[in-house]
A = this chain, B = another copy of it.
Amino acid sequence: MPRDKAALKAFPAALDAETRVHDDHHVSLRLWLRLLSCTNQVEGRVRQNLQSSFNTTLPRFDLMAQLERAPQGLKMSELSQRMMVTGGNVTGITDSLEKEGLVIREVDSADRRVYRVKLTAEGERQFRRMAAEHERWVVDLLGVLSPRQKKQLLDLLGELKERLTGFNGERQP
């Protein structure tokens, strides 16, 4: 099935090409599944905690978190970028938060196509309460790793993230 036998890297040279490629594919697939699994675990727990403790959701928390770091407000498109989701999606979440008075859309006088979304005072108050708890959860969850391991993971994932950003589907020669 794997029609691309191209050796990907410089290998010490003890293995035949067939085994090398197959082994590397295996590692890549396993790595992907494991990455997904870890993320799902953490995400699931955070989500459950947000639901049971604050009756809110991760995307809503995420949107508010973005705004908290931007007192001057953010455009919908900026929210979309930072949250790594579609514009249409941001519209929905913003609608919901605005309806509850946690967030407000302000028209930009310079460009009337734009909304500047800001946290309301109530939104800010509520976010701060949630943020403290959220940090505890994450720190506790990732506390299963040693500081040294966390650092290593952070670096490796940083590398991965960096390179994925510039990756556009070219095959390695």
A interface vs B, CB < 8 Å? 1-4, 8-9, 11, 24-25, 27-32, 34-44, 69-70, 84, 128, 131-132, 135-136, 138-147, 149-154, 156-161, 163-165, 167, 169-172
Chain B contacts of A39 at CB under 8 A? 35-36, 39
User: How many copies of this chain does one complex carry?
Assistant: 2
Apart from the given pairs A143-B172, A149-B159, 14 other A-B contacts in the complex at a CB distance below 8 Å:
A3-B132, A9-B147, A24-B150, A31-B153, A32-B138, A34-B157, A35-B35, A35-B39, A37-B157, A140-B169, A141-B167, A144-B164, A144-B167, A152-B152
Instruction: Contact check, A139 vs B41: say whether CB atoms are below 8 A apart.
Output: no
Dominant SS among interface residues on chain A: helix
Instruction: Contact check, A35 vs B157: say whether CB atoms are below 8 A apart.
Output: yes
Chain B contacts of A8 at CB under 8 A? 143, 147
CB < 8 Å: which of B24, B149, B151 contacts A147? B24
CB < 8 Å: which of B24, B44, B135, B164 contacts A29? B135
Smallest CB gap from A172: residue in B: B143
Distance A4 CA – B136 CA, assembled complex (angstroms): 8
